[in-house]
Amino acid sequence: MKLELIAPDLTGVDCDALLLVEFEASPRGELAEALSTLRESGEVTGKFLELTLLHSPAGFKARRVLLAGAGKRGKFEIASLWKLAAASARLLKGKGAKKIAVVLEDGFDSPEHVSATVQAVIEASWEPDRLKTNADKDGSREIESLTICAAGSGLESAVAAGGIIGEAANLTRDIAVEPPNKLTPMALAARAQAMAKANGLSCEVLDQDRMRQLGMGALLGVAQGSAEPGAMVIIEYKPEKAASDARLAIIGKGVTFDTGGISIKPSEGMEKMKYDMCGAAAVIGAMQAIAQLRPSVSVTGVIPTVENMPGSKAQRPGDIVTSLSGKTIEILNTDAEGRLILADAITYAKQLGCTHLVNAATLTGAIVVALGNHQSGVFSNDDALLGRWMAAAKSAGEKMWHMPVDDEYREMLKTVYADIGNVGGRAGGASSAAAFIREFVGDTPWVHVDIAGTAWLDDAKPWMPKGPSAIPLGSFVKLAQEWK
């Protein structure tokens, strides 16, 4: 998609469709005559996501004007702008618009707003139907160009950054939507290698023999039930001039399909379990964006990837495995596999010298019960890193909620036969899962993001089709960008 930045221009910009934002109780004067009847009838109110398309409005070069309701001005955030821009772009794409322009409202035209708008429009072009025979493979139904009408310092770089993050999000979603017969653990590793090669990053893949030599018993225990071997993927970004000695690790759960193992899941809805590698996909996409944006902090992407299957060699409830850290783990439920592979990934990241850890995982149904599909759950052992993360998430427009991981949740994981059990019961399940991961973190500053409810849309929304959301790619990238 061609991207362009021009000075604010309502009537003179030549395009197929011009997007204007209108707030409740704050009607745009430029369209007063064209909208007078619609406003009087209550059809146009400025309500959030109210989209009104005008054809050939008088005085405008644009062939269509889309008036996008933004709701109450005081409640309009980055996340609101992202949804509104994406929903508008998807509507216009469906109407055959090739060249669109967006005029940003005063006060909502900062670099952050510009970047979010560009990102949203690019992400709005993505569809999950690439394997359909009638899919738009030649791009004939795509938006070809986007013009941002705004003035201010830093906006050129904001347009470029929005484009980079949007393309990275679409890469993440391309990977996440792959069916599990195509995206095996080694295929996921190959996608990471291809991205790294294309963007000048180093990428190492540890195979099963190497992981066995190192002692990654927690990960290998999960992988042993599948005919598909597991892997550990390490992607490295090093800045030309680092701002500090910090070395950030972003770690993503990469279970390419999760049957639950011997503790098998119900058949209903199991087809969705291809999404259990959305954390890993977000790491791959984030590392691409980081390579192109060149932040001043070293970043290591770590992806533990397995398939959790109930084969004849699968681990059983009651088995005890020895993790890379040396701690022993009693397997009480083989469907609590994500925390096991993260335990070895976190230990390995620490061994590589990473000083700050952020992991993302579709980890627990309990977080969906707690927060629904609207916010990701965030757990941390370090207030400073937690503050950085929450600020990055807000800047990215990804909603997060801080959850507890107190010592009481660790008590739920006690077992007679090993150092720790891999589950702690139904009550407080998201927090006890976080407490399990914290056991392998030690004193290293750490944030755990449970994206089980936000990584995938079960139903299409105006701003996004059914499928992967790419959360928390934006937060990963903003955290690296804003690191000082």
Helices H / strands E in the chain, number of each: 14, 20
Helix ranges (DSSP H) in 199-261: 208-214, 217-223
Q: Read out DSSP for 21-40?
A: EEBTTB--GGGHHHHHHHHH
Q: State mean pLDDT over 451-479.
A: 97
Domain spans of the chain?
2-153, 180-481
The structure tokens listed for 169 are 């999000």
247 included as an active-site residue: no
- What is the average pLDDT value for the chain, to the nearest integer? 96
**CB-CB contact of 452 with 362 (8 Å):** yes
pLDDT tens figures, 129-139: 988 988 766 66
The structure tokens listed for 63 are 């062939």
pLDDT tens figures, 277-310: 999 999 999 999 999 999 999 999 999 999 999 9
Q: Quick one: CA torsion of 284, 308, 183, 447, rounded to 10 degrees? A: -10
The structure tokens listed for 396 are 């990215």
Q: What is the spatial distance between Cα 450 and Cα 389, in angstroms, rounded to a whole number?
A: 13
Fold of 180-481: Aminopeptidase (3.40.630)
The structure tokens listed for 22 are 């209108």
Q: What is the number of other CB atoms lying within 10 angstroms of the CB of residue 174?
A: 18
Point out the catalytic residue in the list 90, 99, 274, 339.
Answer: 339
pLDDT confidence band for 84 (50 / 70 / 90): very high
pLDDT at 133: 87
Fold of 2-153: Leucine Aminopeptidase, subunit E; domain 1 (3.40.220)
Point out the catalytic residue in the list 63, 72, 265, 399.
Answer: 265
pLDDT at 139: 61
Q: What are 4's strand-pairing partners? A: 147
Asked whether residue 182 carries a pLDDT value surpassing 90, the answer given is: yes
**CA distance between the termini of the chain:** 32
**CB-CB contact of 377 with 430 (8 Å):** yes
Quote the percentage of the chain above a pLDDT of 90. 91
Asked whether residue 140 carries a pLDDT value surpassing 80, the answer given is: no
Q: What is the spatial distance between Cα 237 and Cα 196, in angstroms, rounded to a whole number?
A: 9
**CB-CB contact of 372 with 265 (8 Å):** no
339 included as an active-site residue: yes
Which of 272, 49, 291 lies closest to 168 in space, CA to CA? 291
pLDDT at 58: 87
pLDDT tens figures, 237-279: 999 999 999 999 999 999 999 999 999 999 999 999 999 999 9
Helix%, strand%, coil% for the chain, nearest 5 = 40, 20, 40
Q: Read out DSSP for 362-413?
A: ---HHHHHHHTTT-EEEEES-HHHHHHHHHHHHHHT--EEE----HHHHHTT
Q: What is the spatial distance between Cα 126 and Cα 111, in angstroms, rounded to a whole number?
A: 24
Q: Read out DSSP for 240-251?
A: SS-SSS-EEEEE
pLDDT confidence band for 34 (50 / 70 / 90): confident
Give the side-chain half-sphere CA count within 13 A for 426.
1
pLDDT tens figures, 360-402: 999 999 999 999 999 999 999 999 999 999 999 999 999 999 9
